[in-house]
Copies of this chain bind each other. A is one copy, B any other.
Amino acid sequence: MTFEINMRCISCKKQAEIKITQAFCSECFLRHYQRRVEKMIKKFKLIHKNDKVLVAVSGGKDSFSCADVLWQLGFDISVLHIDVGVKQCTSPRTKRVVEKFCKERKIPFYFTSFEEFFEIDDINKFFKVAKRPICATCGMLKRALFNKLARENGFTKIATGHCADDIVKYFFKSMLAGDRDSILWLSKLKPLTPSTHKKIVTRIRPLFEMLEVENLAYTKFRNITVAGCVMCSYFQRKDKWTEILREIDKFIPDWKIKIARTLEKIDIQLREKRKQKEGLKECAICGEITNQEICAICNIKRKI
């Protein structure tokens, strides 16, 4: 991505301000970005007229782009921000930034924390007892929270800011892991994960084909203050996967978009389907959907 370049916007021929895959001035970039998301929503019927959409916003560039573009396109959205209780990932400042974003746009703002929502006394103890990587536990809690809060407040869709970079990273990791759970994940890498039970709210990913750098540029040009966590800031991130993906970027700049598009077109299934689905049940303790007698969250809570 280049922010100052000596090129012309391919659309209006004015001085270009950015080049990711094509050179654009900021105005044309924003219009082009919005049009791509709009097309995606139409193509995969992500949002219907009467849908009430809950957008999960962490305060980072991806989720802010998602919320802002859906708002610009005139959909009925609300924003949910969660205090995840992990020091590096949440701060009162992040909450204020998201709240201000909503106030400016008159978007209803929902806020809660894992501790409050799940009635957990000490979230750090919960993370410890869970005995898995903290990001995995956080992800599990977030998905459960999104779903329950959305359902209980009459939302018909949950939107997240997952973009092509996330999708491709999940895709690779799952292809490498190759276990049953990872392969089930592969089949869910789609712009829309439909509800499979009346208690499960349909999830949509309107930025499925957008690049991370495009979201970054979108928030810059829209003057959106981003308050993402320092841990996973785009430019500071240095994990193995980020490096691998960037190496491939050097050879094929738009490869992540291409892989995301292929994933839209294919179905990936476990070959031996026998035990693939045990059937969904309601957790004996909290009533949420699980494939066990007791869901993972209640199970950890019992151990604390």
> Interface residues, chain A, CB within 8 Å of chain B?
174-178, 182-183, 186, 240, 243-244, 247-248, 251-252, 255, 258-259, 261-262, 264-272
Contact = CB atoms under 8 A, between A and B. Distances in A.
Contact of A178 (B178, B261, B269, B271): B261
Contacts of A177: 258, 262
Contact of A266 (B251, B258, B265, B270): B270
Contacts of A267: 267-271
Nearest to A261: B178
A181 to B, nearest CB: 12
A176 B255 CA distance: 7
Given A178-B265, A264-B271, 8 more contacts: A176-B252, A176-B262, A178-B259, A178-B261, A178-B262, A240-B252, A268-B268, A269-B269
A205 to B, nearest CB: 16
A248 B250 CA distance: 13
Contact of A247 (B186, B248, B255): B248
Given A176-B255, A243-B251, A244-B251, A266 B262 contact: no
A61 to B, nearest CB: 26
Which of A176, A183, A240 has the most CB atoms of chain B within a 10 A radius of its CB?
A176
A151 to B, nearest CB: 28
Contacts of A271: 264-267
20 contacts: A175-B259, A176-B255, A176-B259, A177-B258, A178-B258, A178-B259, A183-B262, A183-B266, A186-B266, A240-B251, A244-B247, A244-B251, A247-B247, A247-B248, A264-B271, A266-B268, A266-B269, A267-B267, A267-B268, A267-B269
